[in-house]
């Protein structure tokens, strides 16, 4: 049997990068995918690729900054597939401006809304049913900036990812007694479109040394396929060569 056969998995930020790869890899293992992002056309392409792998996929266009759209995506998922087994909070953005001096208050607020608040709202929405059922997994895809905040990652991005560390810890404290697990997954530099928002531009050779989307996807499949008795609360990943 496929590792994720019959599991319903929500993936936010599913239209490209890590989210796209996660969706396709989970579909190949038999999962039923709910794909959340703003760009419907891009989501439809990911859904088609997921179905080609043998999985089922539901497209849920939503702006994760809007609570009502998050609730609508969750309602559509439950109506289509039933209970949510795994939530992957992957949606994230960054900006070119990274310093305290250069980052605007508007940029700061947007990064926290997309990177952190959306993860909180999604987690809050799925947690009661997971607790009642006695099982469930929330994977918060953060960054090594949660462990080592730095100017390269940026003040807003680093702050949002440190916030995900707190969200994960409190989710585990609340959820573990009921069989609900949360994992803070902190990858280093990854070869996704967000890397192009850094002030420094990287060559193709440098990008190939970074963590690739398929590396993240394989790790999410691993986490989601572990038995309920096992909780990996923190997973850090970095490129072998930098």
68 contacts: CB under 8 Å, gap ≥ 6:
none
Catalytic sites, residue numbers:
157
Angle, helices 155-175 vs 118-133, to 10°: value is 10
Vertex 141 angle, CA 163 and 21, to 5°: 160
Distance CA 45, CA 195 (A): 22
Strands (E) across 29-179 are located at: 32-37, 56-61, 86-89, 136-141
Q: Which one-letter DSSP state was computed for residue 37? A: E
- The span from the CA of 121 to the CA of 176, in Å, is 19
């Amino acid at each position: 049997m496929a590792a994720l056969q019959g599991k319903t998995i929500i993936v936010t930020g599913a239209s490209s990068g890590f989210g796209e790869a996660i969706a396709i890899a989970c579909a190949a293992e038999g999962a039923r995918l709910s794909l959340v992002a703003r760009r419907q056309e891009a989501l439809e392409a990911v859904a088609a690729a997921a179905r080609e792998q043998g999985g089922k996929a539901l497209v849920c266009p939503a702006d994760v900054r809007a609570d009502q759209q998050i609730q609508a995506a969750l309602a559509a998922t439950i109506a289509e597939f039933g209970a949510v087994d795994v939530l992957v909070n992957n949606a994230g953005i960054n900006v070119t401006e990274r310093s305290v001096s250069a980052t605007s208050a508007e940029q700061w607020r947007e990064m926290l809304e997309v990177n952190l608040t959306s993860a909180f709202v999604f987690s809050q929405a799925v947690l009661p049913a997971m607790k009642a059922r006695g099982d469930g997994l929330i994977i918060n895809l953060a960054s090594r900036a949660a462990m080592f905040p730095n100017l390269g990652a940026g003040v807003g991005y680093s702050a949002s990812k440190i916030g995900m560390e707190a969200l994960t810890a409190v989710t585990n404290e609340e959820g573990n007694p009921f069989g609900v697990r949360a994992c803070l997954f902190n990858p280093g530099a990854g070869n996704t479109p967000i890397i192009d928002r850094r002030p420094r531009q990287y060559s193709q050779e440098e990008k190939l040394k970074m963590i690739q989307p398929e590396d993240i996807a394989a790790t999410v499949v691993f986490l989601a396929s572990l038995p309920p008795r096992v909780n990996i609360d923190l997973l850090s990943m970095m490129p072998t060569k930098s």
